[in-house]
Amino acid sequence: MEDAYARSITEVLDFFGVDPGKGLSDSQVALHSKIYGKNVLPEETRTPFWKLVLKQFDDLLVKILIAAAAVSLVLALINGETGLAAFLEPFVILLILAANAAVGVITETNAEKALEELRAYQADIATVLRNGCFSILPATELVPGDIVEVSVGCKVPADMRMIEMLSNQLRVDQAILTGESCSVEKELESTIATNAVYQDKTNIIFSGTVVVVGRARAVVVGVGANTAMGNIRDSMLRTDDEATPLKKKLDEFGTFLAKVIAGICILVWIVNIGHFRDPSHGGFLRGAIHYFKIAVALAVAAIPEGLPAVVTTCLALGTKRMARLNAIVRSLPSVETLGCTTVICSDKTGTLTTNMMSVSKICAVHSVHRGPTIAEYSVSGTSYAPEGMIFGSSGLQIEFPAQLPCLLHIAMCSAVCNESILQYNPDRGIYEKIGESTEVALRVLAEKVGLPGFDSMPSALHMLTKHERASYCNQYWESQFKKVSVLEFSRDRKMMSVLCSRKQTKIMFSKGAPESIVSRCSNILCNDDGSTVPLSVAVRDELESRFHSFAGKETLRCLSLAFKQMPIGQQTLSFEDEKDLTFIGLVGMLDPPREEVRNAMLSCMTAGIRVIVVTGDNKSTAESLCNKIGAFDHLEDFAGRSYTASEFEELPALQQTLALQRMALFTRVEPSHKRMLVEALQHQNEVVAMTGDGVNDAPALKKADIGIAMGSGTAVAKSASDMVLADDNFASIVAAVAEGRAIYNNTKQFIRYMISSNIGEVVCIFVAAVLGIPDTLAPVQLLWVNLVTDGLPAIAIGFNKQDSDVMKVKPRKVNEAVVSGWLFFRYLVIGAYVGLATVAGFVWWFVYSDTGPKLPYKELMNFDSCSTRETTYPCSIFDDRHPSTVSMTVLVVVEMFNALNNLSENQSLLVIPPWSNLWLVASIVLTMLLHILILYVHPLSILFSVTPLSWAEWKVVLYLSFPVIIIDEILKFFSRNSTGLRLGLRFRRPDLLPKRELRDK
């Protein structure tokens, strides 16, 4: 029943045909079960494992690699190759792809856990009226129309419409659903609000929420998927995971690279059509196959096989560093996404605040005889821990608060006129509440005030165990004042009273709304001497002024406390007794902001990141909090910056777009609004981070570019998120953003390094094919270079130090190409040199080496026809392994020097020396040792078609390799100076890599 909140009790009962005194009959239960289904969240259809695996290979570069591996295997078999040589290359390629697929499958499997965790918020049992009798049944058996009774501590088993109040009031904690910091009072009357959100449906108690005060009966109106929790589940199912900015840019780059590779491969094959009939190939078909094999080798050379593995490794290293900052990353790509976050949509309750009500202000009458009349105290401590101090109006700490009469009586009243429980949870290491959060705040205040008569009171309390300390003072007062009778809170009185006996005396303590308590007071307790004096009109006006200041300007939730001496023999209380009270004091409480949030907010602004506070609380409370944390000190007021969900939805489309660009606060929201906000910001090309801790936050966390859950939050929120803040500290997000930016910078560096290296390999094969000289490198040698030589230094580049100004620059644009413009030109120049140096090493051995044949260059170009004409040298010379070994070694060494170039994008090696990244130095040393190993260890040298080199050959390798440092230093010089900037602008438009809109509009 969708509109039960707007219907009267009679209409709802008639709709389901249920008698409130008897409940449903067995036949009605069976019928309703068929119509509405069971009270369980249905199992979602899981993606089959084989589909998850295949999805990981749905990438153009991956498909090209698989095709290259298959073709390589087929050609090897056609040529009669057997054993390890035929299978090594395809096997290694497939091994890499399998490893990357495994990481992807694990990540996607984790994402489905959020939906499973949602079931934990369903109640297990319910007290149900059927056939005129109450019985306790499994909550899964509930059907719409069932009459259910709920009381304090009950988890609500389904969405239900209130029909009967069995106590003075019913209050429900629905923070996990709406994010409200205080419990919500429920009522029987129907709601007339249009476009009602969950907060407006005050006659509905929602599935998964918890009753904290009172007892009532309600009729079930929604079960399973048709509940508020079911709506959250559906919203999560409708949410598709967004690809991260880096993933999108790599995909674009992959598509671009695939087209270039295909073009070059076809070009190389076509250029050599004239050589297909060369006698050395043994026929046209074999010649075509030979050059097709060269084209495949070119594809292998062009594709950075190690790139996905290196990106994954670098992000994994970043997650370890972020874990030390209390940011636990659940999804690797989100590390990089943090770096380009432009908007953080922060949940208020539990994220910017502690989600623990605490007393922050106390107001009492100091004296009516001498000024000042009113004494105001502030209280420190922002959690349920009984740790904090009380300060006077001058800001000085009150060392022994219990020695002041008003504070002492406030502690007594807070402890005795209270039905909540404060306890220590050793498993979680925190103090927890049972009952109403405002009452627990009073219990914590009583602990902070302490007990009278002990000069060593504060230090003595510190000697207790945490379990004993939780309620030590409260238990003392409860043992002193034995409860005799209780008048529960009611909406008309707006107060609660408790009759207690102590040492042959009777005393009544009362607490309630200030206007209710003060109007019933005729006396006041003075704080200077403990005397009781009549309450004058002037003092009453002063108290009302302070109350309006607390409630209005500071938006504190206020309670007044009072007491009254009662006749010795009295055993019960009546409403008539609640008059002629003695006023004790006024307390103001709030869900306090976290102390470190202010600086974190300022850091976000410096880094160009906008913060939007999103909450289910009302507008004034949220605006007050934003003023307290100093997040919006730069705003004169909230006009045009603060909207409720209803106000925003009523705006025309154009004004909504403008409002999104200026919004700083979004209030009275429910789960669907949070998800809508994320989507709207994403349509404006913002990169959105969403923080939250409740079940209500899960759909938005899943939809956001990066979802950030609190460590103390619900399991649902954590499972739907990309990152979890272990310390619940908003400030940790700022540290994580800085780390994300540094990781992206390093990622760009090693991507450029690998691309320039691969360009070198392509140039090497292409130039050799165009010149008509023998193959400079075998496919297995290319694979070794791509995996080992490129891979280890690329990973080490991920350890480059973070720039000092990383959080002083604006977020990068999401459509910023990973490699574009002037930088692409730079690495094209470097790549061209790498390729030409590799070919030069090959030609040098044939033409100039003392140990080589010293052939004329023309003979080298006509090696194909060697067997058909007379020569002064044996044709077997072209099968010698020395030239390809020199080429491979030049390629390895030149790439090691190129790795040093990537310590910084623009800074010279004279400014940032190699030893600034010892990991890179170590990777270069290890790579060279591995290369020497395959050169000088016999089985490996045969496998990789290489041979040991002489010292003379090593010197030539070094001569050909070192100039890459000089070339890049010149290019860096231009980058740092105006000439480089002009060239940069010239090359930046149009980008050499494709650009496309990030999201379909």
Tokens (6 digits) for 290 = 């030979």
513 DSSP assignment: -
Cα–Cα distance, 558 to 514 (Å, whole number) = 7
* Residue 815 · residue 998 · CB < 8 Å: yes
Nearest one of 336, 146, 250, 416 to 746, comparing CA atoms: 336
Active site residue 347: yes
Q: In the structure encoding, which two tokens stand for residue 212, read together?
A: 């904290």
Residue 496 CA to residue 515 CA, distance in Å, equals: 13
Helices (H) and strands (E) counted in the chain, each on its own, are 37, 29
Whether the Cβ atoms of residue 621 and residue 589 lie closer than 8 Å to each other: no
In whole angstroms, what is the distance from residue 556 CA to residue 441 CA?
13
How far is C-alpha 918 from the geometric centre of its chain's CA atoms? 31
Give the residue among 440, 456, 460, 458 at the shortest CA–CA distance from 385.
440
Helices (H), 20-83: 26-36, 49-55, 60-78
Find the farthest-apart pair of alpha carbons in the chain and give their distance in angstroms, rounded.
133
Count other C-beta atoms under 10 Å from residue 761's C-beta: 29
Residue of 59, 146, 278, 347 marked catalytic: 347
Q: Which two tokens stand for residue 388?
A: 């904090």
Q: Which residue has the tokens 């153009």?
A: 60
Tokens (6 digits) for 416: 């005795």
For residues 692 and 114, give the distance between their C-alpha atoms in angstroms, rounded to a whole number. Answer: 14
Q: Which residues of 653-692 are buried (b: 16+ CB within 10 A; e: fewer)?
A: eeeeeebbeebbbbbbbbbbbbbbbbebbbeeebbbbbbb
> What is the crossing angle of helices 671-683 and 228-238, to 10°?
20
Q: Residues 162, 187: contact at Cβ < 8 Å? A: yes
Length of the chain: 1001
Q: Which residues of 813-826 are buried (b: 16+ CB within 10 A; e: fewer)?
A: ebeebbbbbbbbbb
**Residues acting as catalytic residues:** 347
